């Protein structure tokens, strides 16, 4: 018979070649394919693809697998007319899910060099691509959180800091407006906002939700409110376990929450941006309130709560300069507490401290908007009466002296008429806008008037003589 060994060898080589091709395609891709000149599949590897069997895909248009809703989608590689390497496309699985794939493709030409379709291989990179998308989402989120932290720590100007933070939160939340609010003892203050409030008030339902919700809310809890055709969210902020404010977000009526990737890594949850930064905002609010409190303490007398000498003199500089622009007289009262030492000696320092606080309350009670009250030190006080002339200043002194006499009657009813009774010696100096007298000269005149009362027996008031006329050029008048 005829020697069949060469034919056998060729047949064997062909079989091995096909097995090699089959194994390589299985290892290197999820499926191989071929399409005709209409873009319809004429071959799909036996295991099928994208949840479809091979038979279900044969004859099906490849364009139907492309996810038309994906931005930046490449042209259909299944109809390639030139070589395609690692084209990333988004395909639709049979169950409707998105699949990210890499496609290799070669055009197919017949013997007459006419294009007849394409063939190639597809690798499903969905898991790797989803992980990349999730990591990029997390990276961008962390970058925006860092911007909020930098905004609240980058300046001592708290208004600028909270305005910047609110703008970042609004942008990342899809809100038309964001405001950061502090809450102290049911009192709400606006710290900053993404857009100017222009005198606008916080809607009633939002304000009520803030005050009532803060008492019951958990950390990072969000409260949703419908008000005036819009949607509102309050994300409460906490410091040391106590609610100290909220992030207020306002959305249009048709707003829908932004969706994070659904395939976040295990152990990482996606939350609204306001919740993500609420702890940082809570710390920033606490810091701002502490700085405000420190500022107040640096300007107030610890015992009485009145201005201290430094703060009083700072504010007085501006008030005194202002009278030359308005042409309005003002009065300076220099007050010394008579016989205060006897209360300390006979009743103790606690009683003395209580007396000083009561004197401060009397001064506050008789103060109008625009007046300033201070404890200069020890038992000395001062009052600036805005827009007061000599008659108004004397009337104020009589009220103060009368109230202090009633206070003494409560403290020592048996010594009401005693020379050692508690009282006030007050010196009055009227600031004249037509006289360029310095502030120190004005205070000195009031001080001297007060000591004149002391020398005459205390418990009274006196008006200092007008200052020598000084014109704006500094020359003494006639």
What are the catalytic residues?
379
**At what angle are helices 273-299 and 126-153 packed, to 10 degrees?**
10
| Token digits of residue 421 | 């009774």
| E strand segments, 36-160 | 41-44, 84-92, 98-109, 115-124
Q: Phi, psi at residue 248, to the nearest 5°?
A: -105, 125
List the one residue out of 28, 25, 27 whose CA is nearest residue 44. Answer: 25
SS3 category, 416: coil
| Token digits of residue 384 | 């600036």
DSSP 182: E
| Token digits of residue 55 | 């038979």
DSSP 382: E
CA distance 272 to 234: 12
Distance of CA 257 to the CA centre of its chain: 20
CA distance 40 to 51: 17
DSSP 59: T
CA distance 161 to 153: 7
Count, residues in the chain: 478
| Token digits of residue 169 | 């939160």
Q: How many CB atoms lie within 10 A of CB 327?
A: 9
CA distance 99 to 376: 77
78: left (phi over 0), alpha (psi -120 to 50) or beta: alpha
List the one residue out of 166, 150, 153 whose CA is nearest residue 287. Answer: 153
Provide the sign of the torsion angle of the four alpha carbons 38, 43, 49, 53, taken in this order: positive
SS3 category, 91: strand
SS3 category, 42: strand
81: left (phi over 0), alpha (psi -120 to 50) or beta: alpha
Distance of CA 359 to the CA centre of its chain: 40
């Amino acid at each position: 018979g005829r020697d069949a060994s060469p034919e056998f060898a060729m047949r064997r080589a062909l079989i091995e070649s096909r097995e090699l091709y089959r194994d390589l395609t299985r290892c290197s891709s999820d499926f191989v394919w071929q399409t005709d000149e209409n873009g319809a599949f004429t071959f799909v590897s036996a295991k099928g693809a994208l949840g479809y069997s091979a038979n279900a895909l044969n004859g099906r248009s490849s364009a139907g697998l492309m996810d038309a809703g994906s931005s930046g989608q490449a042209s259909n590689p299944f109809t390639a007319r030139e070589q395609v390497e690692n084209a990333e496309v988004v395909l639709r699985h049979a169950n409707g899910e998105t699949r990210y794939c890499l496609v290799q493709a070669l055009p197919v030409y017949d013997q007459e060099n006419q294009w007849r379709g394409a063939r190639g291989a597809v690798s499903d990179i969905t898991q790797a691509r989803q992980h990349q998308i999730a990591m990029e989402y997390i990276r961008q989120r962390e970058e925006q959180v860092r911007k909020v932290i930098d905004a609240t720590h980058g300046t001592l100007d708290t208004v600028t800091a909270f305005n910047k933070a609110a703008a970042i939160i609004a942008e990342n939340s899809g809100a038309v407006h964001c405001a950061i609010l502090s809450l102290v003892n049911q009192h709400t203050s606006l710290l900053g906002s993404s857009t100017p409030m222009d005198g606008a008030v916080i809607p009633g339902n939002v304000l009520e939700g803030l005050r009532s919700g803060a008492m019951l809310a958990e950390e990072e809890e969000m409260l949703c409110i419908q008000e005036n055709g819009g949607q509102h969210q309050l994300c409460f902020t906490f410091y040391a376990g106590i609610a100290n404010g909220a992030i207020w977000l306002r959305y249009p009526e048709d707003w829908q929450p932004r969706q994070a990737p659904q395939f976040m890594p295990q152990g990482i949850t996606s939350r609204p941006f306001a919740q993500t930064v609420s702890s940082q905002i809570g710390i920033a609010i606490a810091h701002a309130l502490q700085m405000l409190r420190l500022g107040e303490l640096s300007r107030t007398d610890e015992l009485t709560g009145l201005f201290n000498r430094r703060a009083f003199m700072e504010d007085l500089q501006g008030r005194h300069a202002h009278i030359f622009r308005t042409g309005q007289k003002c009065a300076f009262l220099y007050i010394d507490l008579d016989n205060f030492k006897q209360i300390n000696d006979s009743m103790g320092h606690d009683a003395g401290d209580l007396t000083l606080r009561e004197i401060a309350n009397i001064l506050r009670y008789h103060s109008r908007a625009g007046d300033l009250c201070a404890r200069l030190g020890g038992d000395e006080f001062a009052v600036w009466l805005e827009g007061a002339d000599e008659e108004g200043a004397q009337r104020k002194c009589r009220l103060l002296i009368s109230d202090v006499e009633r206070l003494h009657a409560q403290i020592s009813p048996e010594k009401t008429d005693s020379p050692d009774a508690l009282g006030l010696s007050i010196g009055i100096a009227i600031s004249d806008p037509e006289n360029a007298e310095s502030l120190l000269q004005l205070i000195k005149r009031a001080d001297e008037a007060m000591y004149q009362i002391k020398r005459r027996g205390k418990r009274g008031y006196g008006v200092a003589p007008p200052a020598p006329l000084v014109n704006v050029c500094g020359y003494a008048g006639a």
